[in-house]
Amino acid sequence: MNVNQLSKRLQTVADYLPEGAHFADIGSDHAYLPCYVCMKDPDAKAVAGEVNQGPLSSAEREVASHGLQDRIDTRLGNGLDVVKQGEVSQVTIAGMGGPLIRDILDQGKEKLSTVDRLIVQPNIDARALRRWFLDHGYELVAEEIIEEKGHIYEVLVADKGDSLKPYTKDKREQELWFGPFLMKNKGDVFQAKWKEELEKKQYVLAQMKKAQSVDEDKMEQLNKEIDWLEEVLAE
Ligand SMILES: C[S@@+](CC[C@H](N)C(=O)[O-])C[C@H]1O[C@@H](n2cnc3c(N)ncnc32)[C@H](O)[C@@H]1O
């Protein structure tokens, strides 16, 4: 993968940035995403943040190879520490686990006062991010689920707004898990992801039933999740 042939995963993230974006890409690694966006849009500007020197060096090389040093600032630091107050209007964080992305947002929340859009691509546990958006005044406005090279990825887009809006009162827990928009569309990739999850949970339940001592709470939780999965796949 390179900047001229961005992965479908990063392309999906890039598609949700507005024209003239001024954004921070946290955990940017090779900085393919900011380079791609800035090459396409002459008004875009970015901060590429990295906590590790190795990836930061590849980001520096990539940025320099496109002569984009005046529009992409590569910075070493943890999470949103690399961003100055009021400096950016969008933040992208891709290719990490949901809980890590959530912690980066949470630890840097004072830097988000001028950030009106967050675009995240968690590798696992998107629910952790939906919950964080809900609790911090970010309204989920779009979700994508894509498959690339045998992996399934979710991309979530949240704007400052009414964080309760995408959710219904009775089904909020399920919507936080499956995604309120994704569970309305239920495309093939969605079906594949949750069918696999259902099979895993059914296997765990069968093993649990064979065990000599049973954790009733765990069993109850598992049964509830299996019901939700069967429901969402059947509807
Ligand atoms: C798997 S790579 C993803 C790179 C790129 N965002 C992508 O999606 O292709 C994750 C990157 O995040 C960086 N990273 C992990 N934790 C971080 C943190 N707290 N702050 C900044 N960067 C972090 C790692 O050094 C690594 O380069």
Domains of the chain by residue range: 8-165, 188-234
Distance 119 CA to ligand 1 centre (A): 14
Predicted TM-score of the model (pTM): 0.96
Q: Give the architecture-level CATH label for domain 8-165.
A: 3-Layer(aba) Sandwich (3.40)
Query: Sorting pLDDT into bands at 50, 70 and 90, what band is 1?
Result: low
Question: Which is the closest atom of ligand 1 to the Cα of 92?
Answer: 6
Contact predicate 152/145, CB 8 Å: yes
**C-beta 222 within 6 A of ligand 1:** no
**C-beta 159 within 6 A of ligand 1:** no
Query: Sorting pLDDT into bands at 50, 70 and 90, what band is 151?
Result: very high
Distance 31 CA to ligand 1 centre (A): 10
What is the per-residue pLDDT for 165?
Answer: 98
**C-beta 104 within 6 A of ligand 1:** yes
Stretch among 15-29, 114-128, 207-221 having the lowest mean pLDDT: 207-221
**C-beta 50 within 6 A of ligand 1:** yes
**C-beta 99 within 6 A of ligand 1:** no
**If you average pLDDT over residues 11-40, what whole number do you get?**
98
What is the per-residue pLDDT for 230?
Answer: 97
